[in-house]
């Protein structure tokens, strides 16, 4: 069987692209890879990309220089998690508070893991988690 190297892209569907891109750039310091009226792609450490698509903006095939990208879309309160170190859990709690982002929940896993949950401007459930939640 061929190997999978990891998850390269994660997508969220948002109502206001500039607002959402600014939220993630301000909170995490992500840099913009591409942006237009349909998509903002943000570089996430570890050779990963967060794709922010305008809700309903990709429901038709998109012609790209190398081929056609199939249609896609998503609705509802989607969940995703960013990995953080155990040593920075408190630092992230402080960062969220400084940015005026309410912490919705702090879960402590039995094996020493931590998960911090909050909402982005579209109500998506965003988690900052120590990888030990899965060990």
pLDDT tens digits for range 66-112: 999 999 999 999 999 999 999 999 999 999 999 999 999 999 987 88
CATH code at position 7: 3.30.720.120
d(CA 6, CA 126): 20
Q: Are strands 31-35 and 62-64 parallel, antiparallel or unpaired?
A: unpaired
Q: Do 5 and 51 share a domain, yes or no?
A: yes
Whether 9 maps to a domain, the answer reads: yes
Residues 44 and 94 placed together within one structural domain of the fold: no
**Distance of alpha carbon 134 from alpha carbon 77, whole angstroms:** 23
**Chain mean position to CA 73:** 16
Domain annotation covers residue 67: no
- CB distance 129 to 81 below 8 Å: yes
Q: Could you tell me the pTM of the whole model?
A: 0.93
Q: Are residues 88 and 54 in the same domain?
A: no
Whether residue 56 sits in one domain with residue 93: no
How far is 30 from 45, CA to CA, in rounded Å?
A: 8
11-64 residue pLDDT tens: 999 999 999 999 999 999 999 999 999 999 999 999 999 999 999 999 999 998
Can you give the residue range of the structural domain that contains 95? 77-135
The structural domain count of the chain equals 2
């Amino acid at each position: 069987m061929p190997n999978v190297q990891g998850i390269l892209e994660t997508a969220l569907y948002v109502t206001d692209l500039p607002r959402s891109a600014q939220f993630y750039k301000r909170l995490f310091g992500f840099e913009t890879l591409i942006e237009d009226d349909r998509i903002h792609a943000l570089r996430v450490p570890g050779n990963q990309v967060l794709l922010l698509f305008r809700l309903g903006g990709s429901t038709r095939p998109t012609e790209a220089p190398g081929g056609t990208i199939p249609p896609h879309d998503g609705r509802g309160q989607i969940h995703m998690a960013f990995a953080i170190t155990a040593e920075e859990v408190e630092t992230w709690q402080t960062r969220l508070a400084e940015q005026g982002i309410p912490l919705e929940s702090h879960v402590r896993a039995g094996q020493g893991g931590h998960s911090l949950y909050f909402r982005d401007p579209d109500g998506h459930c965003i988690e900052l988690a120590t990888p030990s939640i899965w060990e």
